[in-house]
Amino acid sequence: MSTRQESDTNEPMIESREALIAPMQKGEKPASRWRIGTEHEKFVYRKADHRAPSYDEPGGIRDLLDGLTEFGWKPIIEGGKVIALSGEDGAVSLEPAGQLELSGAPLENLHQTCAETGRHLVQAKAVGDKLGLGYLGLGLWPDKTRADLPIMPKGRYAIMLQHMPRVGTMGLDMMLRTCTIQVNLDYASEADMVQKFRVSLALQPLATALFANSPFLEGKPNGFLSYRSHIWSDTDPARTGMLPFVFEDGFGYERYVDYMLDVPMYFVYRDGKYIDAAGQSFRDFLDGRLPALPGEKPRQSDWVDHMSTAFPEVRLKSFLEMRGADGGPWNRICALPAFWVGLLYDQGALDAAWALVKDWDIEGRERLRAEVPRLGLDAPLPGGGTLRDIAGTVLDIARSGLAARGRLNEAGDNETGYLSTLDEVVSRSKTSAERLLDLYNGKWAGDLTQIYNESSF
């Protein structure tokens, strides 16, 4: 989640609907300026006993962040505590229970993305080795209860942790027990955004299946391949889901603004502090009737903050954010942006992908999303068949899109090689989650502690 660093008291108030559309319009850029922003989270654990370290304990999360400053990262302070870092490779931040996230810089190609990921992991492991900390690449804590996990000292998380149980049964699990890989991608125009939004939303369940990597909960199999994805089904229905209106005629920036205005607020950021506005209406805020700040109207930064508090399968801000994948190992971090860049950054590939999904009906898309956490590649497609039937075709489309981009590294290789780990999933007809379940039921003989050897960075 984003980390606020300051608030500008001189920032103008929002006075028109155009100001609500402006962040999305400002995201428009020509293809030559399209970039790739990759985010990935990791679980931090003590090597000695696999415990999740707290923020303040010796050798804990605070010391981990302090250690990373040796590599040039600059501290971001909230309430007198370091809660994030900024640097040339983007930002390092904390999820609610201490999951460590790199929100990477906007980069031109996937070779740079993988290099950035590699630098971050080398740095994190170097500090972790000094502190006795390791990092687990999964979508869900495999053996931790909520009570086992610490809470990080970030103001927005305190508000969300209090609010989540009011609106769903699994919001706390989402915050405390999950990790993901995400990629942020650009668009050229409103029409380009619409096509990319529709394709990526329709195919997000395929990404969930290909990256399924969360089959264990509290020490045993949980009955799902992506339990992380299942958690989102009852986190907060007002701000999650497949957004069927995206596929309706006339969808564009205006309709997304209406959606965001219907999403209840979490907070307002003022003078370095988060003010609890959970459940309140941004529409009331526009009218100066927000109970949390009576008489005050929102600034542009308040709207940008609010746009970051919706969690649909694909999210629109000044870019499109792909949100369907479980956390995983290094090659998965490179594979997710390869999958989406291949599909969305070449017009021929984008058109081919749209042709594949454009006739899917709303009910079929919703059923697919509901079934994919449990069934993975065997989840049913709208109109018949399963995800397995189209997975290879979609990867071929992505491969053609990457080849057409022609972005080469120093060895002369293009970006298609980053899809190889997904090719392996399809050729073996077995996701990472299914492979881990095979190990649990076979070689590990039910000893889930072995996952720390198997799935650590």
Instruction: Indicate the pLDDT class of residue 10, thresholds 50, 70 and 90.
Output: confident
List, for residues 62-75, the tens digit of each pLDDT value.
999 999 999 999 99
Could you give the CA distance from residue 332 to residue 409 in angstroms, rounded to a whole number? 19
Token pair of 457 as six digits? 């960075």
Buried b / exposed e over 97-127, threshold 16 CB at 10 Å, is bbbbbbbbbbbebbbbbbebbebbbebbeeb
Residues near 62 by beta carbon (within 8 Å), at least 6 away in sequence: 55, 56, 81, 82
Statement: residue 7 has pLDDT above 60: no
Residue 369 has pLDDT above 70, yes or no: yes
**Strands 240-241, 311-312: pairing kind:** parallel
Write the DSSP symbol of residue 250. T
**Residue-averaged pLDDT of the chain:** 97
Q: What is the mean pLDDT of residues 420-435?
A: 97
| pLDDT tens, residue by residue, 22-70 | 999 999 999 999 999 999 999 999 999 999 999 999 999 999 999 999 9
d(CA 326, CA 210): 9
**C-alpha Rg value of the chain to the nearest Å:** 21
What's the pLDDT at 1? 52
Strand extents, DSSP E, 311-351: 311-312, 314-316, 320-326
Residue-range domains of the chain with CATH:
17-454 (3.30.590.20)
Measured between its terminal Cα atoms, the distance across the chain in Å is: 22
Burial of 71 (0-12, 13-18, 19+ CB in 10 A): middle
* Residue matched to tokens 């003989």: 445
Q: What is the pLDDT of residues 123-136, one digit of tens each?
A: 999 999 999 999 99
Distance, CA of 139 to chain centre: 11
Q: How many helices (H) and strands (E) does the chain have?
A: 17, 15
pLDDT in tens, 380-411: 999 999 999 999 999 999 999 999 999 999 99
Burial 80-94 (b: 16+ CB within 10 A, else e): eebbbbbbebbbbbb
How much is the average pLDDT of 170-198? 98
Close Cβ partners of 305 (under 8 Å, ≥ 6 residues apart):
2, 4, 267, 268, 269
What is the reported pTM? 0.97
Whose CA is closest to 228, among 324, 307, 132? 324
- What's the pLDDT tens digit per position in 137-166? 999 999 999 999 999 999 999 999 999 999
Report helix, strand or coil for 212: coil
Specify the pLDDT at position 355: 98
